[in-house]
């Protein structure tokens, strides 16, 4: 039985996944697992997409690379997709959103993305594609949507997620002592 939960923090590029993941990891002792870093470190690529200027992840290789660790619990998975992770691994899915198109556009543009990549991500954010993906892949009661447009929201979101982690740990330690 796991003694710590696994959380996915997901959303389109530029919504604040990494800053949230790092802060919650610092606050809770969970380990931040950046899927981009893992894919680089463990060569989980299946090619390069020239048009999007990004690596294509070999999802099977990626899951094999992290399975032994993640199934033990205690991880915050930071990535722009969530539906590839088995339901049994995940206790909470946080979908970060940036509803202000002006704020979001500025974030993406500042990254130097090609206009086609900015447009694609803007569309995905406007239409809530990653929220829908999360709701289709996981039980709806473990999927939460949080707005991430400014530092106050980030701080509030991290406090909320950290409080959830502490409540999860407390309820699961009580279950273990009751068993």
Res 177: pLDDT: 66
- CATH classification of 7-172, choosing from 3.40.30.10, 3.40.50.2300, 3.40.50.300, 3.90.330.10? 3.40.50.300
Please indicate if the annotation marks 128 as binding a ligand: no
- The Cα–Cα gap between 78 and 98 comes to 17
What is the enclosing helix (H) or strand (E) of 96?
Answer: strand 92-97
Q: If 0-12 CB within 10 Å is exposed, 13-18 middle and 19+ buried, where does residue 19 land?
A: middle
Angle at alpha carbon of residue 154, lines to 79 and 125, rounded to 5°: 50
- The Cα–Cα gap between 16 and 78 comes to 10
Residue-wise pLDDT tens for the chain (179 aa)? 799 999 999 999 999 999 999 999 999 999 999 999 999 999 999 999 888 778 899 999 999 999 999 999 999 999 999 999 999 999 999 999 999 999 999 999 999 988 999 999 999 999 999 999 999 999 999 999 999 999 999 999 999 999 999 999 999 987 766 65
- What 161-167 contacts at long range (C-beta under 8 Å, 24+ apart), as own/partner pairs, is 161/7, 161/9, 161/20, 161/24, 161/92, 161/94, 162/24, 162/27, 162/28, 164/92, 165/4, 165/5, 165/7, 165/24, 165/28, 165/30, 166/28
Backbone angles phi and psi of 44, in degrees to 5:
-100, 45
Q: Residue 47 in contact with residue 116, Cβ under 8 Å? A: no
Q: Residue 96 in contact with residue 10, Cβ under 8 Å? A: yes
Please indicate if the annotation marks 73 as binding a ligand: no
Please indicate if the annotation marks 18 as binding a ligand: yes
Q: Residue 21 in contact with residue 76, Cβ under 8 Å? A: yes
| DSSP H stretches of helix in 15-100 | 17-28, 35-41, 59-70
5 secondary structure, DSSP code: -
Q: What is the pTM of this model?
A: 0.94
- The Cα–Cα gap between 93 and 145 comes to 9
Please indicate if the annotation marks 12 as binding a ligand: no
Largest CA-CA distance found in the chain, in angstroms, rounded: 56
């Amino acid at each position: 039985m796991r003694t710590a939960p696994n959380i996915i923090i997901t959303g389109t590029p530029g919504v604040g996944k990494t800053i949230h993941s790092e802060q919650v990891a610092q606050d809770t002792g969970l380990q931040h697992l950046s899927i981009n870093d893992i894919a680089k470190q463990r060569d989980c690529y299946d090619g390069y997409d020239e048009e999007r200027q990004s690596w294509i992840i070999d999802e099977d290789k990626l899951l094999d690379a992290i399975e032994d660790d993640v199934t033990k619990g205690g991880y915050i998975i930071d990535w722009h997709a969530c539906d590839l992770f088995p339901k049994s691994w995940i206790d909470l899915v946080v979908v970060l959103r940036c509803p202000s198109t002006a704020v979001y556009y500025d974030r993406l543009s500042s990254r130097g993305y090609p206009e086609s990549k900015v447009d694609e991500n803007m569309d995905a954010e406007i239409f809530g594609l990653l929220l829908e993906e999360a709701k289709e892949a996981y039980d709806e009661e473990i999927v939460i949507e949080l707005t991430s447009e400014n530092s106050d929201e980030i701080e509030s979101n991290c406090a909320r997620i950290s409080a959830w982690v502490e409540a999860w740990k407390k309820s699961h330690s009580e279950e273990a002592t009751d068993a």
